[in-house]
Structure 1
């Protein structure tokens, strides 16, 4: 099993990564990071 940390999990690339991990049982998310931009 491969362990993955996803930085920027709420962004476009992050959400696509989460979708891919859901489809591949050999992958496991061990850490998520999310933030926001304040303008």
Structure 2
């Protein structure tokens, strides 16, 4: 399992990364997350 710290989670690449992590919970784990302006 890979531990991921995601800086900029609200942008295009950040949201795509979150989608991939959600699809593969056995392979990835979010250990840190930073969000900027678009916090929907």
Q: TM-score, normalised by structure 2?
A: 0.79
| Shift in Å, 1:18 | 0.1
Cα distance in 2 for residues equivalent to 1:12 and 1:26: 21
Where do 5+ consecutive residues of structure 1 fail to align?
Answer: none
Where do 5+ consecutive residues of structure 2 fail to align?
Answer: none
Please provide the CA RMSD for this pair: 0.8
Q: TM-score, normalised by structure 1?
A: 0.80
Instruction: Report the count of equivalent residues.
Output: 36
